[in-house]
Amino acid sequence: MNSTPRGATLLSLSLAFCVPAFAQTCPGAGNTFWKRDSLAQNPSGLTAVGVVPGLCEGEAAAVVFEMPANMAPQRLTQVVAPWGHAPAGTNGFQAALDVEIYDGVSFSGGTPVMGSPVFTLSGTGQSLQVQSHALNTFDITPYDVIVGLAPATGSPPVRRFAVAFRVEINAFPAGTCAGGYLANFFTDAQASLGTCTTPIRTSLLDQQGVGWTDMKLANVGGFPICPFAYNGTWCIRACSEDAYPASYTTIAGGCPGTFGVSQLIPATLPRIGTSMLVIVNNMAVSVGIMLMGFTNFAPPIDMTFLGMNACPLHTSFEFTYSLVGGGGQAVHTLILPNDPTLLSLELYQQALSFDAINPFGAVLSDAAKLVIGI
């Protein structure tokens, strides 16, 4: 922000947002939607916002999001850049932005301390082109951006991440950094007020010659930015999904024994630092071997040649575990160390249970795929 008078006014506009650029639907049904502004998730009709004309090329706006204590690390699927134009709401390409994601944001007094930069769009050689008047969505799924891995900080401890947009080119045909741009980022505030309504530790500004500051406390030339040149909360948003979901899924059938086809039933999911329990049912004598490997055979290997008539082997067996139970079932226990390198590892399981139904004296259960997660 420049210290010239053009930074002394918050422009207010009440305009219909553009569709479909304004559409604000997360790409996945199970996504978490993140926002800290007061606008509706899908505003419609005349929606008042505050365009802040003072951000220059090279400066950035960011919003800090706080994660619930029990939330798993998140993979971002979408980020949203608010770009507005006062007073007419002209559509079309208005700016080229960089996208920056930080994990582990903390605060030293009122000063934000940005965590690890886990993603920059400029690092891929690209820019995000935005139009006004719109909430411009960007599909970040292809870049596998993970947040929530940094440890919690503060008292009480909180895990935070930040979504930031940096102005590379402001292409609005009128305006300069010195005089201000009519097209720029916007907040949920309608006008400059006598009282700063911006919550602390939510909206940030990377100001030339200053660095990252909290908009609640930032100043230019000794004068507070909020509420005289800024108010409210940046309408920066995001969507995410669990980054390392644990799963256990039946992928193929086995062959029937005396009591039908044995099934693999997960009692717990494969999560690091825990024990996964899998029940094997429909066993003739409750004794067998759990086969586990890295490969799913497609097509499966027909084990008839060994006397296991019409039994399909679906999985390799780099690992084998004995199964001993009772009452027609057994429980397989797999201890998973608390090792992040195991996250997203895919393994396959199939149980061999002893049964006199065929010449070999054993049958194969359904096959399952497990993905280790958190």
Task: Assess whether 137 and 96 both reside in one domain.
Answer: yes
Residues 251 and 236 in one domain: no
> Which of residues 211, 242, 273 is at a domain's end?
242
Contacts of 295 (CB under 8 A, 6+ apart): 315, 316, 348
Q: Which residues of the chain have pLDDT under 70?
A: 1-24, 86-90, 190-193
For residues 272 and 187, state if they share a domain: no
Collapse the DSSP code of 321 into the 3-class scheme (helix H, G, I; strand E, B; otherwise coil) and give the result: strand
Do 254 and 201 share a structural domain?
no
Residues contacting 3, CB < 8 A, separation 6+: 220, 221
For residues 307 and 217, membership in a common domain is answered with: no
197 vs 52, 189, 201, 225, CA distance in Å?
Answer: 15, 8, 12, 12
- Where is the domain boundary, 242, 269, 296? 242
Q: Which two tokens stand for residue 216?
A: 């609640």
- Residue 192 has what pLDDT? 60
**Both tokens assigned to 259:** 């009591």
CA dist 190 and 181 (Å) reads 18
Domain count, the chain: 2
Tell me the residue range of the domain where 357 lies: 247-371
The CA dihedral of 206, 209, 214, 219, to the nearest 10 degrees, is -130
Domain boundary among 188, 223, 242: 242
pLDDT of residue 169: 94
